[in-house]
Amino acid sequence: MKNFVIYINQAYKDKTAIYDLLEELKSEDHLNFYGIPSQQEILPPDIHILESDKTPKIDCVLVFGGDGTILRAKNIALRTKAPILGINIGYLGFLSETTLGELKSSLRDLLNKKYRLQERMLIQCQLRRNGSIIYKDLALNDAVACKAEMPKLIGVRIFNNRRFVFDTRCDGVIVSTPTGSTAYSLAAGGPILSPEMKAMVLSPLNPHLLTVRPMVFPSTDHILLRIHNLEAPATLQIDGVNCSPIEENDEVAITAAKQTVQFVKLSNRTFYQILRRKMHLGK
């Protein structure tokens, strides 16, 4: 490995510590570091900016931040076809593999091929209105159809492979990947899935019926959310970002994406060890 893209949480205050460490690694191991155009203003001048017509082969995407920063970096990984290594400088860092203090030894392991790659599924989300697709995107964590700023429930009819499942009034519905099963879906009472599984979790948000529960569907299925009885604005969120307003009778179609994202795995810590340490599982 030689060429690395860096992506940084712009709100992080001590960026100098990151740049000093990168400069040290660059001189010691003859590594090349690249940034993306949208972060050019916060990067030091000796870090190259990726150009669309002159993109070198990128070996890894180094993401400095928390889980939200990693989610925003998925497009870089898809564009470069390079795996993500998360360096936690955030709060929880559930998706991160290392820390800033451990980065030097972590990169040495990378250079010495002491790592493995873990593939994680994405979901393709389409917002449809009157038969036309008005918005689409890929999600690493989840797609959420939910109420916006007004405290009004929304109606959601749920279909699986064109077959009716149930209808509910609720604050919204989350459809998550196994990676996203430990995020918003978990907070809504959804189950935890191993990140290497191929499945989708549907978790209603505060349904107004005791009988409505989270459900797990195979990754080969097609999920459709049809929104109705809107009394106030609703919105579509992809990986925690409001992407598009939802109107009456809009449909949110969700399937497993053909693309996947790879994560660098350096340690022998299991998924369940991480759950116990960071989520306090069983304590």
Residues 36 and 17 in one domain: yes
| pLDDT averaged over every residue in the chain | 94
Contact predicate 93/105, CB 8 Å:
no
Q: Is residue 274 part of a domain?
A: yes
What pLDDT, on a 0 to 100 scale, did the predictor assign at position 29? 84
Tell me if 200 sits within 8 A of 256, measured CB to CB. Answer: yes
CATH number of the domain encompassing residue 37: 3.40.50.10330
Q: How many independent structural domains does the chain possess?
A: 2
Domain for residue 225, yes or no? yes
| Pair 130, 187 in one domain | yes
Query: Based on the domain organization, do 161 and 200 belong to the same domain?
Result: yes
84 shares its domain with 161: no
What pLDDT shows up at residue 126?
Answer: 98
Residues 255 and 126 in one domain: yes
Strand partners, 178: none
Same domain for 69 and 181, yes or no, is no
DSSP H helical ranges for 50-166 = 67-72, 74-80, 103-111
| pLDDT of 68 strictly over 70 | yes
pLDDT at residue 268 in the model: 84
If asked whether residues 55 and 179 sit together in one domain, one would say no
Q: Is the domain of 96 the same as that of 196?
A: no
Question: Catalytic residue positions?
Answer: 67
207 with 170, same domain? yes
Q: For 42-56, 148-162, 263-277, which range has the lowest pLDDT when averaged over its residues?
A: 42-56
Give yes or no: residues 133 and 52 share one domain: no
The pTM for the full model equals: 0.93
Residue 213 lies in a domain: yes
Instruction: Name which of 6-20, 40-54, 91-105, 263-277 the model is least confident about.
Output: 40-54
Is the pLDDT at 53 greater than 70? The verdict is no
Rounded distance between C-alpha atoms, residue 143 and residue 120, angstroms:
16
**The domain spanning residue 250 has which CATH number?**
2.60.200.30
Taken in order 114, 27, 3, 71, is the CA torsion positive or negative?
A: positive
**Cα–Cα distance for residue pair 35/40, rounded to 1 Å:** 7
Same domain for 160 and 243, yes or no, is yes
In a domain, 283, yes or no: no
Tell me, yes or no, whether 81 lies in a domain. yes
Domain of residue 92: give its range: 3-115+266-278
Task: Please report whether residue 43 resides in a domain.
Answer: yes
Using CA atoms, how far apart are residues 3 and 16, in angstroms rounded to an integer? 21
pLDDT value at residue 158: 98
